[in-house]
């Protein structure tokens, strides 16, 4: 089985650089989904970013997931919501968005945490960080989930390159959208 690409946008890039990098990546690679993390952006700045990125990625065949409130998903036309919070936030998102939109969960700390969020009805579980290094226990938990559960798993490995990533049995591999430095 070959894992599909679950692209993770950086949170600290100017929008024009992000758009340029996204265009290059989406033209070159088959991307199943794009996660647009909020990072430290203020609400209005994130909303404007999402309004710009969502239609661009969707036009090239990628589902777009944002972070934030369920109402923001509808406002910016995203395909769904990635919930990095606890089970209560996951349940609220599911109640507000399912079955028409995607709801995924991240910030998984244990098998029990993953199972609670999975049983709540999410569409995917993301294992690993959105930036930095994935730990061996996170990788092992993702593999266990992929082998045991039916809900798709995303193995987020931000430091992996296209030639070095290994998603194991996971359905998706979370890779960073690499933004090149502008040429002068």
- Going from N- to C-terminal start, the domains of the chain cover 4-176
% of the chain beyond a pLDDT of 90? 83
Region 8-24 average pLDDT = 93
The answer to whether residue 166 scores a pLDDT higher than 90 is no
In the CATH scheme, what is the code of domain 4-176? 3.20.20.70
Confidence of residue 158 (pLDDT cuts 50, 70, 90): confident
Of 92-106, 112-126, 152-166, the one with minimum mean pLDDT is 152-166
* This prediction's pTM: 0.93
Measured CA to CA, the distance from residue 126 to residue 142 in angstroms comes to 8
């Amino acid at each position: 089985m070959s894992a599909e690409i679950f692209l993770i946008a950086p949170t600290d890039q100017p929008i024009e650089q992000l758009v340029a990098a996204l265009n290059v990546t989406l033209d070159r690679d088959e991307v199943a989904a794009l996660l647009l993390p909020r990072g430290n952006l203020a609400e209005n700045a994130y909303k404007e970013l999402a309004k710009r990125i969502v239609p661009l990625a969707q036009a090239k065949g990628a589902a777009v997931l944002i972070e934030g409130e369920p109402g923001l998903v509808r406002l910016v036309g995203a395909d769904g919501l990635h919930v990095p919070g606890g089970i209560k936030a996951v349940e609220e998102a599911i109640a507000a968005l399912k079955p028409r939109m995607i709801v995924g969960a991240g910030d998984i700390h244990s098998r029990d945490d993953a199972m609670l969020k999975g049983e709540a009805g999410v569409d995917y579980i993301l294992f690993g960080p959105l930036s930095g290094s994935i730990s061996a226990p996170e990788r092992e938990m993702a593999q266990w989930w992929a082998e045991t559960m039916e809900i798709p798993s995303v193995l987020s490995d931000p430091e992996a390159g296209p030639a070095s990533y290994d998603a194991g049995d996971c359905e998706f591999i979370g890779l960073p959208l690499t933004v090149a430095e502008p040429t002068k």
